Amino acid sequence: MSRYSFLTIAAGVALTGAVLVAPMATASQAAPDIPVANVQAHLNEFQTIATNNGGNRAHGRPGYQASVNYVKGKLDAAGWTTSVKSFTYNGATGYNLIADWPGGNPEAILMAGAHLDSVTAGPGINDNGTGSAALLEVALQISATNFAPEKHIRFGWWGAEELGLIGSTNYVNSLSSTEKAKIDGYLNFDMIGSPNPAYFVYSASGQPAGSLELQQTLERYFASINVPTELTSVGGRSDHAAFARAGIPISGTFTGAEVTKTSAQAQKWGGTAGQAFDPCYHRSCDRTSNVNATALDRHSDAMAYSIWTLAGTGGGNPDPDPRFENGTDVAIADLATVESPITVTGVTGNAPADLRVDVSILHTYRGDLQIDVVAPDGTAYRVKNSSSSDSADNVIASYTVDASSETANGTWKLRVRDVASQDVGRIDSWALQF
């Protein structure tokens, strides 16, 4: 991960009290449990590569080229279509490795990526061998399970991230407007095995429309295993940034870098308060011993779940059900009622009986909040009651509403009422999935 600051913007257990939507429908459609031992085996290979090539896997160094060759060899043997895209930076040749899984709708592409380079100071096993190794193992599991997604799946291993996101930026800039428009979303995995780990999910706030669906898909996985998450704004710190600048929806997960874990985070996740999430960040000690296996396992499984869920199953066309979002912040003052509108157009007939409402509200006491979805004719559908015993932070949730009696087109509103004093927040974003 490049040296830029990041900001944690929300904390709390994802989807507390929510009705979970869009679960994996059958066992045959379920994402596999990614074997963490396999991911660790890839990390061992990256460590050996670094050890045999001057101690690192940095841009322009032989360890990076060897890392590309290792990943490409595994992918080619598993039936992926791979290509190596070269670029030049600081007088050295760099490489992006692009891998496409055959099939799926080529007009609707789900991408995931991780940077493969390290800094020159060390082998870069957590940063970012972990994301690269997990992405490789997910790719191998896609092959092993003969996954036939609705969307086309493309993975990228990026070069020269540590020098300023050079490889991913080069890739996105090389695409035509038509090719960029085919990418429905990009998931980024940069540092997912920090030794004093966090469970951060990239926030959709301020990101391109469509990012909320990616964020909440990742949150749903962690909620399903009872692991609390925090939203974080990674800004321009990693390879998602080039995709976001191109208007492509983004999200991802992150276990933390040089920032210190707070006491509240240690209480929530374990580990050591007052110590960096990764004390070996950008140092020579970022070796295989610098990885928390539990965090690596959980984030690898979250990666697989999100890809299986967002790519869809069945091998047909992408899900035609339209989605509408509003990502504009709306402040929620004490004892106030606020609304956020979404205008729905182009939908035939009535809303469905299982209209999905995705909500991201950042608030210091979620029990204060009463939430309604208001149809265009003014009918209000209660999705959350206030409760003095509901003391957690934030409402990051998916609900279903039987809106089959309502005309779909028109202006829908999310109405939020704060019923008690002392705690405030904001509507961060919300969406309707028809």
Q: Which residues are catalytic?
A: 161
Between the alpha carbon of residue 138 and those of residues 135, 207, 293, 301, 366, the distances in Å are 5, 26, 16, 9, 36
Show the beta-strand stretches assigned E in 22-150. 81-89, 92-101, 105-115
Distance CA(174)–CA(180), nearest Å, equals: 10
Instruction: Determine how many CB atoms are found less than 10 A away from the CB of residue 413.
Output: 19
> Which tokens belong to 401?
């509403």
Question: How many CA atoms within 13 Å lie on the side-chain side of 198?
Answer: 31
Rounded to an integer, what distance in angstroms lies between the CA atom of residue 282 and that of residue 182?
Answer: 35
Q: Nearest-CA neighbor of 45 among 159, 161, 136?
A: 136
CB of 334 within 8 A of CB of 422? yes
CA distance 223 to 218: 9
Cα four-point dihedral sign 300, 302, 306, 308? positive
Give the torsion sign (CA, 296, 268, 30, 205). Answer: negative
Q: How far are the Cα atoms of 7, 91, 355 from residue 352, in angstroms, in the given order?
A: 38, 57, 5
How far the first Cα of the chain sits from its last, in Å, is 37
Both structure tokens of 241: 């940034």
Runs of H (alpha helix) within 210-261:
211-224, 240-245
Could you give the CA distance from residue 157 to residue 116 in angstroms, rounded to a whole number?
6
Residue 231 near residue 9 (C-beta atoms within 8 A): yes
